[in-house]
Amino acid sequence: MSGRAVRKIIAANWKMNKTVAEALAFADEFAALWSGQGGVEVVICPPFTALYPLGQRLQGSGLLLGAQDLFWEERGAFTGEVAAFMLREAGASHVIVGHSERRHLLGESDADVRRKLQRALQEGLYPILCVGETLPQREGGEAEAVVCAQLRAALQGCPPSPARLLVAYEPVWAIGTGRNAEPADARHMALVIRRELESLLGRAGAEVRVLYGGSVTPDNVAGYTGMVEMDGALVGGASLRPESLAAIVRRTEEAGHAT
Ligand code: PEP
């Protein structure tokens, strides 16, 4: 594990926030705060409407663009959906798949998540696959079983070498609640996830980057991203202000230098 040399990644999930004008203003303010020299990859995931203009604004900046969802079919009569090739054309390299808000609020099933993941991989996107247990599941001692089952369901039939896959461990009870997981618990789950990935994917499983998400802030991020077992963080609320996201990236850079 300590031999893994990967760039840490901070992915910003803006959810259903920001107009195009607000997204562009964020990009300009963030660019003034971020040197781009610290070795941390930063991916901004705005709403669909801001993808293309933000992608244009980010060109040459070193910042990466991600979408928050995609549809599994290639193209066609699927009113309201957005295809992977459209995300690519808009400038996205990454896409969040199976976020718990989609699973729990919008009824996205394991089968839906699997189809979306496979489409993202087929089309050359970097999927950020979200997994995580609810509070009753954690309190019932089922957290590991739930997360492993979500991984197995999502990766069933996955190409054998998913070099572009990222997995975000996001305990549902920690998302948007201000109640972040203990770093030691997140570390434990990162090891569980890695063991499951290696059993599903063989040696390629070791290459998958594992992130933590759930009430990450500038004050707590280093507790996660400073560990060798954790390759970064997926950040919701604290990514909405440029200075807050810049502080999260800076603390991750500093934590990397300390390890
Ligand atoms: C998320 O939306 O993926 C998330 C982790 O949100 P927050 O950081 O607000 O908990």
Task: Tell whether 202 is covered by a domain.
Answer: yes
Q: What is the pLDDT of residue 257?
A: 66
Task: Tell whether 151 is covered by a domain.
Answer: yes
Q: What is the pLDDT of residue 162?
A: 80
Task: Tell whether 2 is covered by a domain.
Answer: no
The Cα–Cα gap between 72 and 222 comes to 35
How many structural domains is the chain composed of?
A: 1
* Least confident interval from 40-44, 94-98, 201-205: 201-205
Give Cα separations from 256 to 40, 192, 228, 230 (angstroms). 9, 22, 9, 11
Tokens of 153: 């369901």
Task: Tell whether 199 is covered by a domain.
Answer: yes
Task: Tell whether 3 is covered by a domain.
Answer: no
Q: What is the pLDDT of residue 38?
A: 86
Say what percent of the chain tops pLDDT 70.
97
Residue nearest to atom 6 of ligand 1 (CA): 236
Cβ neighbours, 10 Å, residue 107: 8
Instruction: Give me the catalytic one of 41, 101, 133, 170.
Output: 170
Q: Is residue 50 in contact with ligand 1, taking CB distance under 6 Å?
A: no
Coil, helix or strand for 167? strand
pLDDT band at 2 (very low <50, low <70, confident <90, very high): very low
CB 70 within 8 A of CB 82: yes
Query: Could you give the angle at which helices 183-201 and 143-155 cross, rounded to 10 degrees?
Result: 40
Average pLDDT, the chain: 95
Task: Tell whether 221 is covered by a domain.
Answer: yes
pLDDT at residue 15 is higher than 70: yes
Residue nearest to atom 3 of ligand 1 (CA): 236
Give 53-88 pLDDT, tens digit per residue. 999 999 999 999 999 999 999 999 999 999 999 999
Amino acid, res. 131:
V
Q: What is the mean pLDDT of residues 30-46?
A: 93
CATH code, domain carrying 118: 3.20.20.70
Asked if 99 is an active-site residue, the reply is yes
Give 107-129 pLDDT, tens digit per residue. 999 999 999 999 999 999 999 99
pLDDT at residue 225 is higher than 90: yes
pLDDT at residue 149 is higher than 80: yes
* Secondary structure letter of residue 182 according to DSSP: P
Give 150-177 pLDDT, tens digit per residue. 999 999 988 777 889 999 999 999 999 9
Coil, helix or strand for 91? coil
CB 10 within 8 A of CB 232: yes
Asked if 254 is an active-site residue, the reply is no
Q: Which helix (H) or strand (E) holds 211?
A: strand 209-213
The Cα–Cα gap between 225 and 227 comes to 5
Q: What is the pLDDT of residue 82?
A: 98
Q: What is the pLDDT of residue 231?
A: 97
Give Cα separations from 211 to 41, 56, 84, 150 (angstroms). 12, 27, 22, 16
Task: Give residue 170's domain range.
Answer: 8-258
Task: Tell whether 1 is covered by a domain.
Answer: no
Q: What is the pLDDT of residue 258?
A: 57
Task: Tell whether 96 is covered by a domain.
Answer: yes
Instruction: Compute, in angstroms, the gap from residue 45 CA to the centroid of ligand 1.
Output: 12
Instruction: Compute, in angstroms, the gap from residue 43 CA to the centroid of ligand 1.
Output: 14
